[in-house]
A and B are shown apart, each in its own frame.
Chain A
Amino acid sequence: MTVIPIGPKQCEKARRYLDSYISSELTVETNHDVLKHLEICKECSQILQDLLLIRNRLRKAVNREVVPAALRERVQRSMRQQHTGMKAQSWSRWALAAAAALIMCLGGWGTLHLWRLSQRTRTGTSLQADLPAFITNQTASLLKIGVGDHVHCVVEHHDDREQSTSEQMAKELGPDYYGLVALVDEQLPKNYSVSVAHQCDVNGRRFVHLIFKNQQNVLSLVITRKGNEGFPIADRIAGMNPRGPGLYQGQVEGYDAVGFETKAYLAFVVSSLDKNANFQIASSLAPAVNTFLTHLEI
């Protein structure tokens, strides 16, 4: 402990600390030193008293100022008006978005309806499934892997090519996965086609990524090697083709994702379509992609 003794230099030192002392901003040690000096120095103690007197009088004088009651009401009223404006703005945005979505859904429904008819003709079965209202966190976190790659390449436009050539796809996918392009093209609704196919790295994970689109929508087929992960059986969608893989569906970060797994891979179909439309496309791709990936594992 260093006590600041009496004397012109010591008083000068103590007075330098007085502002911080009355603001309670000194360290415990310095505070103690100042206090000890004040106990034995009448002059410095008087200066402190003056500082405290002015501070207390200032606080009292400022806080005596009467706040106009009408001002508080005026401020609350203007906040309510702004709130109402935000609501109206928000509702009008929602209304516009809903109208746009309705138009797109009607268009999409027409397309899908025609495609479903062609599927029925092709497989002789109708695709019916009970899509879940809720999924576990485990499924959500797995679906997020696929959504993350879709967002990285499609939404954030890290690969914004309109159309890759077959040579580019072959080169960027590599010989093991190039066969997926023709396979996926074959299973897609007629107005969709694979536009880009590549391998990419997102968040330290390697993906095989096929982007396919029609005039309005862009979808991704995202495939990655499995770690220790696996979909929980409880979230498996019931009523699916028993010869195909189990499917898992959910909304993640505003995107619809359908996932499935093989022994060594996780695969996802991700899009901004509504869940039924995305599911229809995913369920038509899954059996063929599942077979393809299973062959790679042999």
Chain B
Amino acid sequence: MAFGNGIKLQDFESVALPHFDDLYRTAARVLGDRSEAEDLVQEAYLQAWKSFHRFEAGTNCRAWLFKILFHVIHHHRRKWFNIKLIKESDAILEEVLTYEPPIPEHITDEDILLALDKVPEEFREVLLLSDVQEFSYKEIADTLQIPMGTVMSRLSRGRKVLRTQLGELAPNIQVRTAEGGEHRL
């Protein structure tokens, strides 16, 4: 028991709370619902505190917290949305795998976040962990409990879907093609 081992809440807070914002932002983007993200981040922190006696000092606390967060999210998701998610990602993949869209020249944060929301969740998770939180493939594989090869393919597909969604979200803004020329869609 954590208390029996003399572990102080202050010790936990000093190593775990600096990552609070990263965990919340990731949860909010994965779930697409701030209120749900708040509940699950709280649940993740409570679980982390309860099992803090198992955390090895000197190891990567941030990666450990993200692993707990995704465990909580997946547990929550399994209850409600699993079947829907698989169907959604398969359908979107069919559309984008052969399509190389041009990138809008002037994209706003809102455009990016809207496009990200349309990336299937299993790709979005890897995108966020890799491109926003800057975890390595190995750390992502460990966090999501998936093979490294799956991390690589989900990341590649996630980036491609994001690019496609960006192109579709901004049909009337100036875009730059891969060949370097500019035109209006």
Select one of A19, A42, A75, A82 contacting B152, CB under 8 A: A19
Select one of A19, A61, A67, A72 contacting B112, CB under 8 A: A61
Contact present for B46 and A54 (CB under 8 Å): no
| B residues in contact with A3, CB < 8 Å | none
Residue in A closest to B148 when the chains form the complex, CB atoms: A25
Q: Interface 1/0s, chain A 38-61, versus B by CB < 8 A?
A: 000011001100110111011111
Contact present for A43 and B179 (CB under 8 Å): yes
Interface of B: prevailing SS = helix
Place the interface of chain A in its size category. 35 or more
Interface residue A71 (Cβ < 8 Å from any Cβ of B): yes
If A46-B179, A75-B41 touch, does A58 touch B103 (CB 8 Å cutoff)? no
Shortest CB-to-CB span from A200 to chain B, Å, is: 32
- Cα A63 to Cα B29 in complex, Å, equals 11
Interface residue B58 (Cβ < 8 Å from any Cβ of A): no
| B residues in contact with A61, CB < 8 Å | 109-110, 112-113, 116
- Cα A295 to Cα B49 in complex, Å, equals 59
Shortest CB-to-CB span from B102 to chain A, Å, is: 9
| A residues in contact with B103, CB < 8 Å | 50, 53-54
If A42-B180, A53-B103, A54-B159 touch, does A64 touch B41 (CB 8 Å cutoff)? no
Number of B interface residues, CB 8 Å? Answer: 48
Contact present for B180 and A62 (CB under 8 Å): no
Contact present for B162 and A54 (CB under 8 Å): yes
Taking each of A57, A60, A63, which has the highest tally of chain B beta carbons within 10 Å of its own beta carbon?
A57
| A residues in contact with B163, CB < 8 Å | 50, 54
Contact present for B17 and A62 (CB under 8 Å): no
Select one of A42, A58, A68, A83 contacting B9, CB under 8 A: A83
| B residues in contact with A64, CB < 8 Å | 109
Q: Interface 1/0s, chain A 64-89, versus B by CB < 8 A?
A: 11011001101110111011001100
If A50-B103, A64-B109, A67-B20 touch, does A86 touch B1 (CB 8 Å cutoff)? yes
Interface residue A272 (Cβ < 8 Å from any Cβ of B): no
> Which chain B residues in 137-169 approach chain A with CB under 8 Å?
137, 152, 155-156, 159, 162-163, 166
Interface residue B83 (Cβ < 8 Å from any Cβ of A): no
If A55-B131, A79-B46 touch, does A63 touch B25 (CB 8 Å cutoff)? yes
Contact present for A23 and B155 (CB under 8 Å): yes
Interface residue B2 (Cβ < 8 Å from any Cβ of A): yes
Shortest CB-to-CB span from A21 to chain B, Å, is: 12
Select one of B4, B42, B152, B156 contacting A74, CB under 8 A: B42
Residue in B closest to A60 when the chains form the complex, CB atoms: B109
If A25-B136, A54-B162, A72-B20 touch, does A83 touch B3 (CB 8 Å cutoff)? yes
> Which chain A residues in 80-123 approach chain B with CB under 8 Å?
80, 82-83, 86-87, 90
Interface residue B86 (Cβ < 8 Å from any Cβ of A): no
Contact present for B49 and A59 (CB under 8 Å): no
If A25-B136, A83-B3 touch, does A58 touch B112 (CB 8 Å cutoff)? yes
Shortest CB-to-CB span from A49 to chain B, Å, is: 9
Interface residue B132 (Cβ < 8 Å from any Cβ of A): yes
| B residues in contact with A86, CB < 8 Å | 1-3
Residue in A closest to B24 when the chains form the complex, CB atoms: A67
Which 3 residue pairs spanning A and B have beta carbons closest together? A61-B109, A61-B112, A86-B3
Beyond A25-B137, A42-B180, A62-B29, 17 additional pairs, beta carbon < 8 A: A19-B155, A23-B137, A43-B179, A54-B163, A54-B166, A57-B112, A58-B116, A61-B113, A62-B113, A62-B128, A62-B132, A67-B24, A78-B46, A79-B9, A79-B45, A83-B49, A90-B4
Please report B residues at the A interface, Cβ cutoff 8 Å: 1-4, 9, 12-13, 17, 20-21, 24-26, 28-29, 34, 38, 41-42, 45-46, 49-50, 103, 107, 109-110, 112-113, 116, 127-128, 130-132, 136-137, 152, 155-156, 159, 162-163, 166, 176, 178-180
Interface CB pairs A-B, < 8 A, 18:
A19-B155, A25-B137, A46-B179, A50-B103, A54-B103, A57-B107, A57-B109, A59-B131, A63-B132, A65-B24, A65-B28, A74-B42, A78-B42, A78-B45, A79-B12, A80-B9, A82-B46, A83-B3
